[in-house]
Amino acid sequence: MRILAIETATPASSVALGDDASLVAMSVRVDGRGHVGFLVPAIDFCFTQAGWTPHDLDLVAVDIGPGPYTGIRAGIATAQAIAAAVGVRVVTVSSLTVIALRAATGRRLIWPVVDVRRGQVATAPFSPVPGGVVRDGDSEIVTPEQFIAMVEASPEDVLVVGDWPALPEGVLKSAHRAKVGRPRYPAADTMLEIAVMKANHEEFAQATEIRPLYMREPDASINWSDFREEGLWPGAAG
């Protein structure tokens, strides 16, 4: 199964092509305002590196958030256009799940953090299990003080990953059972593994009905003229 994964929910935009969960090609750029300008060249680059065309795809995976509004919408619009142009199915993933899965190397309860601006972060608890992670609670938008209270209330040792540098300096020092670690941002190569699992369970999304999980009113509106279906990327035609 040939998969295109699109990640734009944080400042680290990334695109990956995978043969099932095996990475074939990938492009990454960290730029909080450059999602739209990154995506088309990055997708072209990955297809060139892999020797594929868009019509070789079997599946598109896209991160729907949480995260800043404009980046999420850029990724969703691109995934929708590609899926419609070449007639493939789509799966959606959460940025929090992607971060947690990359960090699942021990026994600690994992609290991934995504900076959603306005002095708030998105988070949810995940437990490591054989072969992955399971979410132990709802995704929430909280202040740094609320986040620390949630971490301190946990009866388990905790690993805080993701964009924890966005928290006020020193705010984690009071959480004595918490350890901080990488990764800071979700990445498209990790999305491949999630996409395979979702496809195997037939957890597909209707491309036209995908909505961003930004969990509050958007900070800005995207310029939809950047995502006209015509010419979205050169290899789509035909």
96-180: same fold as 2-94+186-236? yes
Contact by Cβ (8 Å): 177, 158 = yes
Residues 71-127 have pLDDT tens digits of: 999 999 999 999 999 999 999 999 999 999 988 777 899 999 999 988 899 999 999
pTM of the predicted structure, to 2 decimals? 0.87
Return the domain boundaries, the chain: 2-94+186-236, 96-180
Cα-based angle 3, 18, 22 (whole degrees, multiple of 5)? 140
Domain 2-94+186-236 carries which CATH code? 3.30.420.40
**% of the chain surpassing 70 pLDDT:** 88
- Considering the segment(s) 96-180 as one domain, its CATH architecture is 2-Layer Sandwich (3.30)
- Residue 117's CB is within 10 A of a number of other CB atoms, namely 12
Residues 169-228 have pLDDT tens digits of: 777 776 777 888 876 899 999 999 999 999 999 999 999 999 998 766 554 444 544 444
Contact by Cβ (8 Å): 211, 69 = no
Contact by Cβ (8 Å): 126, 109 = yes
| Mean pLDDT calculated for residue range 130-153 | 90
pLDDT of residue 86: 96
